[in-house]
Amino acid sequence: MDLGLNGKVALVTGAATGLGLTYAEALAKEGVKVALTDLDGPGAEKAARELSQYSTVIGFGLNVASQEDITEGVARTVSELGGVDILVNNAGLARGRWQALSDLAFDEWETLLRVNVASLARLANEVRPHMIARGGGVIVNQSSNSAYFKLSNSYAVSKLAVSGLTIGLAEEFEPDHIRVNGIAPGMMTGRVPQEIIDMVVSRQVMKRRGRHEDLVGALLYLCSDLSSFVTGQTILVDGGAALRI
C-alpha cells in the first residue's frame, strides 16, 4: 500500500538507537527524507549512514533540553532537506522509573520534565511555521502505557503529561492543519530487570514483551493520511496491558 509518504521530510529525536532508530528506519523505507538526531551525535551520524540505503538521511547531535540546539536542529533540517512535514518526538529519559515519587530530587524532577515534556512543546513550536509553509504536518509524541497505571513513579507522571500535552497541542495546532497524536508503548525489548519483565507481562493480555517493530504500524498510520481525521489521540501498543488495570 502506498501511504503517500514518499518525499516527505521527518525530524526524529533520540534516534541513534532503540525505538527512535526503528521509527527513522520505517520512515526512510517509505521514502521519507529523515533528519535523525540524538544527544549522541556520532551515533546519529553512523545510524544515518546505515539508513541512507533507503532514502536521504542526515544525522547530527541534538540535545532536546537546549532551546539553542532545538532551533539549530530544525533550521538544519529545513536547510538540508527542504522543510519539515513530520516531527517524531521520541527522545526522553527513563529517570525515576524504579523509585518512589517522593525520592526524586528537585533538580532531577526539573531535568526529567524538561526533557520528557517541555522539549516536546518547544520542538513542536519550532517546526510549526515550517509545517504551515508546506500546508500542514504531523507530530507524533512518545508517551508510555505507564501513564495509564497507578502513577507510582516520576517517569509515569511525565508520560501522563505527554498525553495531556498531545491533546493541548492538537487543539492549538488544528487551525494550521497540523495533527498531533501519540504512541504509548508497553514493555519493549531492552535491559530491564527480569522481575519487572515478569510482573509486566503477567498483567498483559498478550503474554510476551513487545518488539520495536510492533510500533511501526502505529507510527506509519499516524504519519499518513490514513489517520487524516485523527488528532489528540494516544495509541496504546502494549499487548493489552492497560485492559488489565
Catalytic residue numbers, as ranges: 155
User: How does DSSP classify residue 210?
Assistant: B
Sequence-ordered alpha helix ranges (H) in 37-66:
41-51
Residue 185 C-alpha cell reads as 508503548
Overall residue count recorded for the chain in this entry: 245
Residue with cell 516536546: 120
CA–CA distance, 7 with 10 (Å, rounded to integer): 10
Instruction: Report which of 97, 116, 238, 234 is spatially closest to residue 155, judged by C-alpha positions.
Output: 97
Q: How far, in Å, CA of 123 to CA of 72, rounded?
A: 11
Three-state DSSP at 83 gives coil
18: left (phi over 0), alpha (psi -120 to 50) or beta: left
Q: 50 burial class (0-12, 13-18, 19+ CB within 10 angstroms)?
A: middle
Sheet holding 234-237, edge to edge: 57-61, 33-38, 9-12, 86-89, 137-142, 178-185, 234-237
